[in-house]
Structure 1
Amino acid sequence: MQFLLNTGRVAEAEQVGQGMRLPRQLPDLQAEHDLLRGVVRERTARIVTGGASGGQTFVVPEAVGAQGAIGSGSAAGGVTGRVDRAVLARRYWASAARWYERVLDARPSHPEARLRLARTWLDRGEADRALTMLAPLVTPPCASSVCALAVLFTGEAYERRGEVGRAAESYRAASADARTRQSAVLALLGLSLPDDAEQGLVLARTLAGSSAPTDDLPDAWSVYVGGRRDDVEAVLGPLRRGLRP
Protein backbone atom coordinates (compact mmCIF):
# COMPACT_ATOMS: atom_id res chain seq x y z
CA MET A 1 0.00 0.00 0.00
CA GLN A 2 2.75 2.42 0.90
CA PHE A 3 4.57 1.72 -2.37
CA LEU A 4 1.37 2.31 -4.36
CA LEU A 5 0.78 5.60 -2.55
CA ASN A 6 4.37 6.68 -3.14
CA THR A 7 3.95 6.04 -6.86
CA GLY A 8 0.58 7.78 -7.13
CA ARG A 9 -1.46 4.61 -7.71
CA VAL A 10 -4.20 5.59 -5.28
CA ALA A 11 -7.01 3.45 -6.71
CA GLU A 12 -4.79 0.36 -6.53
CA ALA A 13 -3.84 1.19 -2.95
CA GLU A 14 -7.55 1.35 -2.10
CA GLN A 15 -8.15 -2.09 -3.59
CA VAL A 16 -5.15 -3.62 -1.79
CA GLY A 17 -6.24 -2.09 1.51
CA GLN A 18 -9.74 -3.49 1.20
CA GLY A 19 -8.45 -6.99 0.53
CA MET A 20 -5.80 -7.07 3.24
CA ARG A 21 -6.41 -9.03 6.45
CA LEU A 22 -3.80 -8.92 9.20
CA PRO A 23 -3.39 -11.35 12.13
CA ARG A 24 -4.51 -10.04 15.52
CA GLN A 25 -1.05 -10.62 17.00
CA LEU A 26 0.29 -7.70 14.92
CA PRO A 27 -1.58 -4.73 16.44
CA ASP A 28 1.13 -2.21 15.54
CA LEU A 29 1.02 -3.24 11.90
CA GLN A 30 -2.78 -3.11 11.98
CA ALA A 31 -2.57 0.48 13.19
CA GLU A 32 -0.27 1.40 10.31
CA HIS A 33 -2.58 -0.37 7.86
CA ASP A 34 -5.53 1.62 9.21
CA LEU A 35 -3.53 4.83 8.91
CA LEU A 36 -2.75 4.05 5.27
CA ARG A 37 -6.44 3.38 4.62
CA GLY A 38 -7.10 6.89 5.89
CA VAL A 39 -4.31 8.36 3.78
CA VAL A 40 -5.80 6.75 0.67
CA ARG A 41 -9.20 8.28 1.43
CA GLU A 42 -7.64 11.66 2.18
CA ARG A 43 -5.66 11.65 -1.05
CA THR A 44 -8.76 10.66 -2.98
CA ALA A 45 -10.67 13.58 -1.46
CA ARG A 46 -7.96 15.92 -2.74
CA ILE A 47 -8.12 14.33 -6.18
CA VAL A 48 -11.89 14.78 -6.22
CA THR A 49 -11.76 18.43 -5.19
CA GLY A 50 -8.83 19.34 -7.43
CA GLY A 51 -9.19 16.97 -10.35
CA ALA A 52 -7.71 18.02 -13.65
CA SER A 53 -11.01 17.44 -15.43
CA GLY A 54 -12.54 20.50 -13.77
CA GLY A 55 -16.23 21.24 -13.40
CA GLN A 56 -18.49 20.52 -10.46
CA THR A 57 -18.93 16.81 -11.11
CA PHE A 58 -16.49 13.93 -10.83
CA VAL A 59 -16.60 10.62 -12.69
CA VAL A 60 -16.46 7.70 -10.24
CA PRO A 61 -14.86 4.70 -11.99
CA GLU A 62 -17.10 1.63 -12.03
CA ALA A 63 -14.38 -0.50 -10.40
CA VAL A 64 -14.29 1.89 -7.45
CA GLY A 65 -17.93 2.83 -7.09
CA ALA A 66 -19.19 -0.74 -7.23
CA GLN A 67 -17.17 -1.85 -4.23
CA GLY A 68 -19.77 -1.02 -1.61
CA ALA A 69 -20.75 1.39 1.11
CA ILE A 70 -18.48 3.94 2.69
CA GLY A 71 -18.01 2.04 5.92
CA SER A 72 -16.83 -1.21 4.36
CA GLY A 73 -15.68 -0.43 0.86
CA SER A 74 -15.31 2.56 -1.39
CA ALA A 75 -16.24 5.98 -0.07
CA ALA A 76 -18.20 6.41 -3.28
CA GLY A 77 -20.93 4.39 -1.58
CA GLY A 78 -21.62 2.10 -4.52
CA VAL A 79 -22.20 5.03 -6.88
CA THR A 80 -20.83 5.09 -10.41
CA GLY A 81 -20.95 7.79 -13.05
CA ARG A 82 -20.91 11.54 -12.39
CA VAL A 83 -21.19 12.68 -8.78
CA ASP A 84 -21.10 16.19 -7.32
CA ARG A 85 -17.48 16.86 -6.29
CA ALA A 86 -18.33 18.54 -2.99
CA VAL A 87 -20.65 15.73 -1.89
CA LEU A 88 -18.18 13.01 -2.83
CA ALA A 89 -15.25 14.81 -1.21
CA ARG A 90 -17.17 15.15 2.05
CA ARG A 91 -17.69 11.38 2.04
CA TYR A 92 -13.99 10.74 1.53
CA TRP A 93 -12.97 13.27 4.22
CA ALA A 94 -15.40 11.65 6.68
CA SER A 95 -14.10 8.18 5.83
CA ALA A 96 -10.47 9.30 6.27
CA ALA A 97 -11.32 10.80 9.66
CA ARG A 98 -12.86 7.54 10.82
CA TRP A 99 -9.74 5.58 9.88
CA TYR A 100 -7.52 8.05 11.76
CA GLU A 101 -9.82 7.92 14.79
CA ARG A 102 -9.55 4.14 14.70
CA VAL A 103 -5.75 4.39 14.84
CA LEU A 104 -5.93 6.79 17.79
CA ASP A 105 -8.36 4.52 19.62
CA ALA A 106 -5.73 1.77 19.45
CA ARG A 107 -2.66 4.00 19.80
CA PRO A 108 -3.61 7.37 21.37
CA SER A 109 -0.05 8.70 21.11
CA HIS A 110 0.31 8.09 17.35
CA PRO A 111 1.55 11.52 16.17
CA GLU A 112 0.91 11.10 12.45
CA ALA A 113 -2.66 9.90 12.97
CA ARG A 114 -3.28 12.94 15.19
CA LEU A 115 -1.77 15.27 12.58
CA ARG A 116 -3.78 13.79 9.73
CA LEU A 117 -7.03 13.78 11.70
CA ALA A 118 -6.48 17.46 12.50
CA ARG A 119 -5.76 18.18 8.83
CA THR A 120 -8.92 16.34 7.81
CA TRP A 121 -10.98 18.42 10.22
CA LEU A 122 -9.33 21.55 8.88
CA ASP A 123 -10.21 20.63 5.31
CA ARG A 124 -13.79 20.01 6.44
CA GLY A 125 -14.01 23.53 7.88
CA GLU A 126 -13.69 22.52 11.54
CA ALA A 127 -10.84 24.83 12.55
CA ASP A 128 -11.60 24.75 16.28
CA ARG A 129 -11.41 20.96 16.46
CA ALA A 130 -8.24 21.02 14.37
CA LEU A 131 -6.54 23.46 16.76
CA THR A 132 -7.37 21.28 19.75
CA MET A 133 -5.94 18.21 18.02
CA LEU A 134 -2.81 20.03 16.81
CA ALA A 135 -1.85 21.64 20.12
CA PRO A 136 -0.02 18.61 21.64
CA LEU A 137 2.06 18.24 18.46
CA VAL A 138 3.44 21.79 18.57
CA THR A 139 6.58 21.29 20.65
CA PRO A 140 9.24 23.77 19.46
CA PRO A 141 11.99 23.39 18.53
CA CYS A 142 10.51 20.79 16.21
CA ALA A 143 12.39 17.51 15.97
CA SER A 144 10.18 16.05 13.23
CA SER A 145 8.21 17.15 10.20
CA VAL A 146 5.02 16.18 12.07
CA CYS A 147 5.70 19.01 14.51
CA ALA A 148 6.70 21.41 11.72
CA LEU A 149 3.50 20.65 9.81
CA ALA A 150 1.45 21.03 12.99
CA VAL A 151 2.81 24.58 13.32
CA LEU A 152 1.96 25.28 9.66
CA PHE A 153 -1.55 23.82 10.01
CA THR A 154 -2.08 25.81 13.21
CA GLY A 155 -1.47 28.97 11.20
CA GLU A 156 -4.06 27.91 8.64
CA ALA A 157 -6.58 27.11 11.38
CA TYR A 158 -6.16 30.57 12.87
CA GLU A 159 -6.45 32.10 9.41
CA ARG A 160 -9.73 30.28 8.81
CA ARG A 161 -11.00 31.63 12.14
CA GLY A 162 -10.12 35.15 11.03
CA GLU A 163 -7.32 35.54 13.59
CA VAL A 164 -4.81 37.01 11.17
CA GLY A 165 -2.23 38.02 13.78
CA ARG A 166 -2.03 34.56 15.33
CA ALA A 167 -2.01 32.99 11.88
CA ALA A 168 0.95 35.14 10.84
CA GLU A 169 2.78 34.24 14.05
CA SER A 170 2.40 30.52 13.35
CA TYR A 171 3.37 30.91 9.70
CA ARG A 172 6.52 32.82 10.70
CA ALA A 173 7.42 30.04 13.12
CA ALA A 174 6.88 27.46 10.36
CA SER A 175 9.00 29.52 7.94
CA ALA A 176 11.93 29.24 10.35
CA ASP A 177 11.96 25.46 9.82
CA ALA A 178 13.61 24.33 6.57
CA ARG A 179 11.06 21.53 6.19
CA THR A 180 8.11 23.92 5.95
CA ARG A 181 9.83 27.14 4.92
CA GLN A 182 8.52 27.44 1.37
CA SER A 183 4.94 26.51 2.24
CA ALA A 184 4.95 28.89 5.20
CA VAL A 185 6.34 31.80 3.18
CA LEU A 186 3.67 31.21 0.54
CA ALA A 187 1.02 31.24 3.27
CA LEU A 188 2.43 34.49 4.65
CA LEU A 189 2.42 35.91 1.15
CA GLY A 190 -1.26 35.10 0.74
CA LEU A 191 -1.98 36.58 4.16
CA SER A 192 -0.11 39.83 3.44
CA LEU A 193 -1.00 40.67 -0.15
CA PRO A 194 -4.58 41.93 0.35
CA ASP A 195 -3.57 44.57 2.93
CA ASP A 196 0.18 45.06 2.66
CA ALA A 197 1.58 44.98 -0.86
CA GLU A 198 5.04 46.06 0.32
CA GLN A 199 5.30 43.20 2.81
CA GLY A 200 3.99 40.85 0.14
CA LEU A 201 6.79 41.94 -2.17
CA VAL A 202 9.38 41.28 0.55
CA LEU A 203 7.98 37.80 1.10
CA ALA A 204 7.90 37.10 -2.63
CA ARG A 205 11.57 38.03 -2.88
CA THR A 206 12.34 35.85 0.13
CA LEU A 207 10.62 32.92 -1.54
CA ALA A 208 12.36 33.53 -4.85
CA GLY A 209 15.74 33.73 -3.14
CA SER A 210 15.33 30.69 -0.93
CA SER A 211 17.09 27.55 -2.02
CA ALA A 212 14.99 24.71 -3.36
CA PRO A 213 14.49 21.74 -1.04
CA THR A 214 17.14 19.06 -1.36
CA ASP A 215 16.41 15.42 -2.00
CA ASP A 216 17.23 14.78 1.66
CA LEU A 217 14.85 17.45 2.94
CA PRO A 218 11.85 17.93 0.63
CA ASP A 219 9.03 20.31 1.43
CA ALA A 220 7.05 18.63 4.22
CA TRP A 221 3.68 19.68 2.79
CA SER A 222 4.52 18.06 -0.56
CA VAL A 223 5.52 14.88 1.25
CA TYR A 224 2.27 14.96 3.23
CA VAL A 225 0.05 15.48 0.20
CA GLY A 226 1.84 12.67 -1.62
CA GLY A 227 0.97 10.24 1.17
CA ARG A 228 4.57 9.49 2.02
CA ARG A 229 5.45 8.84 5.66
CA ASP A 230 7.53 10.90 8.04
CA ASP A 231 8.73 7.66 9.65
CA VAL A 232 9.93 5.36 6.87
CA GLU A 233 10.12 2.45 9.33
CA ALA A 234 6.49 2.82 10.41
CA VAL A 235 5.33 -0.08 8.25
CA LEU A 236 8.45 -2.23 7.98
CA GLY A 237 9.35 -2.05 11.67
CA PRO A 238 6.16 -3.70 13.03
CA LEU A 239 6.29 -6.23 10.19
CA ARG A 240 9.84 -7.28 11.06
CA ARG A 241 8.98 -7.56 14.75
CA GLY A 242 5.93 -9.68 13.97
CA LEU A 243 7.84 -12.05 11.71
CA ARG A 244 10.79 -12.68 14.02
CA PRO A 245 10.66 -16.10 15.71
Structure 2
Amino acid sequence: MALRPVHVIVKALDAPAVGRFWAEALGWTAYSPGVSTYVGPGGGLVWPHPEVLGVDVVPVPEPKSATKNRVHLDLATTSTAHQAELVDRLRSLGATPVDVGQGDVPWTVLADPEGDEFCVLEPREIYRDTGPIAAVVVDCADPRAMARFWGEATDWTLHEVADDHASFRSPAGVGPYLEFLRTPDAKTVPDRLHLDLLPRPGDGKEAEVARLRTLGATGLDVGQGDVPWTCLLDPEGHEFCVLAPH
Protein backbone atom coordinates (compact mmCIF):
# COMPACT_ATOMS: atom_id res chain seq x y z
CA MET A 1 0.00 0.00 0.00
CA ALA A 2 1.22 3.47 -0.92
CA LEU A 3 -0.23 6.64 -2.33
CA ARG A 4 0.62 8.52 -5.49
CA PRO A 5 0.86 12.34 -5.50
CA VAL A 6 -1.40 13.39 -8.39
CA HIS A 7 -1.62 17.18 -8.21
CA VAL A 8 -0.88 20.29 -6.19
CA ILE A 9 -3.88 22.16 -4.84
CA VAL A 10 -3.66 25.95 -5.01
CA LYS A 11 -6.37 27.87 -3.13
CA ALA A 12 -7.56 31.11 -4.72
CA LEU A 13 -10.26 33.75 -4.47
CA ASP A 14 -10.49 33.79 -8.27
CA ALA A 15 -9.68 30.22 -9.30
CA PRO A 16 -10.20 30.73 -13.06
CA ALA A 17 -7.87 33.75 -13.11
CA VAL A 18 -5.16 32.05 -11.06
CA GLY A 19 -5.59 28.92 -13.18
CA ARG A 20 -5.04 30.98 -16.33
CA PHE A 21 -1.92 32.49 -14.78
CA TRP A 22 -0.43 29.09 -14.00
CA ALA A 23 -1.37 27.72 -17.40
CA GLU A 24 0.49 30.59 -19.05
CA ALA A 25 3.38 30.30 -16.60
CA LEU A 26 3.88 26.59 -17.23
CA GLY A 27 3.01 26.52 -20.92
CA TRP A 28 0.10 24.20 -20.13
CA THR A 29 -3.68 24.40 -20.52
CA ALA A 30 -6.37 25.42 -18.03
CA TYR A 31 -9.31 23.01 -17.91
CA SER A 32 -12.59 23.50 -16.03
CA PRO A 33 -13.92 20.03 -15.18
CA GLY A 34 -15.96 21.33 -12.25
CA VAL A 35 -15.68 24.05 -9.64
CA SER A 36 -11.89 23.99 -9.78
CA THR A 37 -9.55 24.96 -12.60
CA TYR A 38 -7.13 22.18 -13.43
CA VAL A 39 -3.84 23.05 -15.13
CA GLY A 40 -2.05 20.33 -17.07
CA PRO A 41 -0.36 19.67 -20.42
CA GLY A 42 -2.29 20.57 -23.56
CA GLY A 43 -4.00 18.10 -25.84
CA GLY A 44 -6.92 17.30 -23.57
CA LEU A 45 -7.46 16.73 -19.87
CA VAL A 46 -5.64 13.64 -18.62
CA TRP A 47 -5.99 12.86 -14.91
CA PRO A 48 -4.16 11.40 -13.21
CA HIS A 49 -1.40 12.25 -15.64
CA PRO A 50 1.24 9.52 -16.03
CA GLU A 51 4.21 11.92 -16.02
CA VAL A 52 3.40 15.33 -14.58
CA LEU A 53 2.04 16.71 -11.33
CA GLY A 54 -0.90 18.92 -12.29
CA VAL A 55 -1.99 22.11 -10.55
CA ASP A 56 -5.62 22.19 -9.36
CA VAL A 57 -6.79 25.68 -8.43
CA VAL A 58 -9.78 25.60 -6.07
CA PRO A 59 -11.96 28.55 -5.05
CA VAL A 60 -11.95 29.64 -1.41
CA PRO A 61 -13.50 32.70 0.28
CA GLU A 62 -10.41 33.74 2.26
CA PRO A 63 -7.46 35.69 0.79
CA LYS A 64 -3.89 34.65 1.46
CA SER A 65 -2.49 35.90 4.75
CA ALA A 66 0.68 37.97 4.90
CA THR A 67 2.54 34.91 6.20
CA LYS A 68 4.81 33.15 3.72
CA ASN A 69 3.50 29.80 2.50
CA ARG A 70 5.45 26.79 3.73
CA VAL A 71 4.77 25.01 0.44
CA HIS A 72 5.77 26.51 -2.89
CA LEU A 73 6.66 25.62 -6.47
CA ASP A 74 10.11 25.94 -8.04
CA LEU A 75 10.10 26.47 -11.80
CA ALA A 76 12.86 25.04 -13.99
CA THR A 77 14.82 26.92 -16.65
CA THR A 78 17.28 25.72 -19.28
CA SER A 79 19.64 28.73 -19.45
CA THR A 80 20.27 32.11 -17.86
CA ALA A 81 18.59 33.71 -20.85
CA HIS A 82 15.55 31.45 -20.39
CA GLN A 83 15.41 32.37 -16.71
CA ALA A 84 15.44 36.10 -17.48
CA GLU A 85 12.84 35.70 -20.24
CA LEU A 86 10.57 33.62 -17.99
CA VAL A 87 10.77 36.13 -15.14
CA ASP A 88 9.91 38.98 -17.52
CA ARG A 89 6.99 37.01 -18.98
CA LEU A 90 5.64 36.05 -15.56
CA ARG A 91 5.75 39.66 -14.43
CA SER A 92 3.80 40.65 -17.53
CA LEU A 93 1.19 38.06 -16.52
CA GLY A 94 0.77 39.58 -13.06
CA ALA A 95 3.53 38.05 -10.93
CA THR A 96 5.33 40.37 -8.52
CA PRO A 97 8.80 40.23 -6.91
CA VAL A 98 8.85 39.09 -3.29
CA ASP A 99 11.47 39.47 -0.58
CA VAL A 100 11.30 36.48 1.78
CA GLY A 101 14.79 37.15 3.13
CA GLN A 102 16.48 35.24 0.33
CA GLY A 103 19.36 37.73 0.00
CA ASP A 104 21.69 37.53 -2.99
CA VAL A 105 20.74 34.23 -4.65
CA PRO A 106 20.80 33.03 -8.27
CA TRP A 107 17.07 32.31 -8.33
CA THR A 108 14.21 34.81 -8.47
CA VAL A 109 11.38 34.83 -5.94
CA LEU A 110 8.00 35.93 -7.23
CA ALA A 111 4.37 35.75 -6.15
CA ASP A 112 1.38 34.80 -8.29
CA PRO A 113 -1.49 37.30 -8.65
CA GLU A 114 -2.92 36.32 -5.26
CA GLY A 115 0.40 36.42 -3.41
CA ASP A 116 1.51 32.78 -3.40
CA GLU A 117 5.28 32.67 -3.49
CA PHE A 118 7.24 30.64 -6.05
CA CYS A 119 10.78 30.57 -7.39
CA VAL A 120 12.21 30.73 -10.89
CA LEU A 121 15.43 28.76 -10.62
CA GLU A 122 18.67 29.28 -12.45
CA PRO A 123 19.43 26.33 -14.75
CA ARG A 124 20.36 23.23 -12.75
CA GLU A 125 21.34 19.90 -14.24
CA ILE A 126 19.20 17.91 -11.79
CA TYR A 127 16.04 19.57 -13.14
CA ARG A 128 16.85 19.24 -16.84
CA ASP A 129 14.08 16.67 -17.43
CA THR A 130 11.40 17.62 -14.90
CA GLY A 131 9.26 19.74 -17.19
CA PRO A 132 8.26 23.27 -16.19
CA ILE A 133 7.85 22.47 -12.47
CA ALA A 134 11.23 21.55 -11.03
CA ALA A 135 10.04 20.82 -7.50
CA VAL A 136 7.31 21.13 -4.93
CA VAL A 137 9.16 22.53 -1.92
CA VAL A 138 8.01 22.14 1.68
CA ASP A 139 9.53 24.07 4.59
CA CYS A 140 9.95 21.91 7.68
CA ALA A 141 11.77 21.56 10.98
CA ASP A 142 13.10 18.02 10.50
CA PRO A 143 13.74 16.82 6.92
CA ARG A 144 14.78 13.37 8.12
CA ALA A 145 11.47 12.88 9.94
CA MET A 146 9.59 14.17 6.90
CA ALA A 147 11.51 11.71 4.73
CA ARG A 148 10.44 8.84 6.98
CA PHE A 149 6.77 9.83 6.91
CA TRP A 150 6.46 10.73 3.24
CA GLY A 151 8.61 7.78 2.21
CA GLU A 152 6.11 5.46 3.86
CA ALA A 153 3.07 7.47 2.81
CA THR A 154 3.79 7.64 -0.93
CA ASP A 155 5.22 5.46 -3.65
CA TRP A 156 7.83 8.08 -4.58
CA THR A 157 11.53 7.25 -4.37
CA LEU A 158 13.81 8.91 -1.82
CA HIS A 159 16.73 10.46 -3.72
CA GLU A 160 18.58 12.26 -0.95
CA VAL A 161 18.25 12.89 2.75
CA ALA A 162 20.37 14.97 5.12
CA ASP A 163 19.86 17.12 8.22
CA ASP A 164 18.87 20.14 6.14
CA HIS A 165 16.98 18.63 3.19
CA ALA A 166 15.32 15.57 1.71
CA SER A 167 14.05 14.92 -1.81
CA PHE A 168 11.75 12.43 -3.54
CA ARG A 169 10.73 11.76 -7.13
CA SER A 170 8.27 9.54 -8.93
CA PRO A 171 9.53 5.94 -9.20
CA ALA A 172 9.32 6.36 -12.99
CA GLY A 173 11.91 9.14 -12.77
CA VAL A 174 9.63 11.71 -14.42
CA GLY A 175 8.09 15.00 -13.38
CA PRO A 176 9.07 17.25 -10.47
CA TYR A 177 10.83 16.47 -7.23
CA LEU A 178 9.21 16.72 -3.80
CA GLU A 179 11.66 18.47 -1.51
CA PHE A 180 11.70 19.17 2.23
CA LEU A 181 13.95 22.01 3.39
CA ARG A 182 14.87 22.79 6.98
CA THR A 183 13.72 26.29 7.95
CA PRO A 184 13.80 28.09 11.29
CA ASP A 185 10.25 29.46 11.19
CA ALA A 186 7.33 27.47 12.55
CA LYS A 187 4.04 26.81 10.78
CA THR A 188 1.40 29.25 12.03
CA VAL A 189 -1.32 29.44 9.35
CA PRO A 190 -2.84 27.01 6.84
CA ASP A 191 -1.01 26.87 3.53
CA ARG A 192 -2.53 27.88 0.22
CA LEU A 193 -0.81 24.92 -1.47
CA HIS A 194 -0.94 21.23 -0.62
CA LEU A 195 -0.64 17.81 -2.23
CA ASP A 196 -3.49 15.47 -3.07
CA LEU A 197 -2.68 11.76 -2.94
CA LEU A 198 -4.45 8.93 -4.78
CA PRO A 199 -4.61 5.28 -3.68
CA ARG A 200 -3.38 2.62 -6.07
CA PRO A 201 -6.05 0.69 -7.99
CA GLY A 202 -7.54 -1.85 -5.62
CA ASP A 203 -6.49 -0.01 -2.46
CA GLY A 204 -9.23 1.54 -0.36
CA LYS A 205 -9.14 5.15 0.80
CA GLU A 206 -10.18 4.36 4.37
CA ALA A 207 -7.49 1.70 4.70
CA GLU A 208 -4.89 4.16 3.43
CA VAL A 209 -6.09 6.84 5.84
CA ALA A 210 -5.86 4.41 8.73
CA ARG A 211 -2.33 3.46 7.64
CA LEU A 212 -1.30 7.12 7.48
CA ARG A 213 -2.63 7.67 10.99
CA THR A 214 -0.37 4.90 12.27
CA LEU A 215 2.53 6.77 10.64
CA GLY A 216 1.71 9.97 12.51
CA ALA A 217 -0.90 11.75 10.36
CA THR A 218 -3.83 13.39 12.11
CA GLY A 219 -7.31 14.36 10.98
CA LEU A 220 -8.13 17.84 9.71
CA ASP A 221 -11.52 19.55 9.61
CA VAL A 222 -11.50 22.62 7.38
CA GLY A 223 -15.25 22.66 7.03
CA GLN A 224 -15.12 20.32 4.05
CA GLY A 225 -18.34 18.58 5.04
CA ASP A 226 -19.38 15.36 3.33
CA VAL A 227 -16.80 14.98 0.55
CA PRO A 228 -15.21 11.93 -1.08
CA TRP A 229 -11.71 12.85 0.07
CA THR A 230 -10.12 12.92 3.52
CA CYS A 231 -8.10 15.87 4.81
CA LEU A 232 -5.09 15.12 6.98
CA LEU A 233 -2.02 16.73 8.52
CA ASP A 234 1.45 15.23 8.35
CA PRO A 235 3.50 15.07 11.60
CA GLU A 236 4.59 18.71 11.19
CA GLY A 237 1.13 20.01 10.36
CA HIS A 238 1.33 20.23 6.57
CA GLU A 239 -2.10 19.73 5.05
CA PHE A 240 -2.75 17.07 2.42
CA CYS A 241 -5.72 15.09 1.13
CA VAL A 242 -6.33 11.45 0.28
CA LEU A 243 -8.67 11.10 -2.68
CA ALA A 244 -11.14 8.35 -3.40
CA PRO A 245 -9.70 5.66 -5.70
CA HIS A 246 -9.97 6.59 -9.37
What TM-score, normalized by structure 2, do the two folds share?
Answer: 0.26
Normalised by the size of structure 1, how large is the TM-score? 0.26
Which structure has more strand as a fraction of its residues? Answer: 2
Structure with greater contact order relative to length (CA < 8 Å, sep ≥ 6): 2
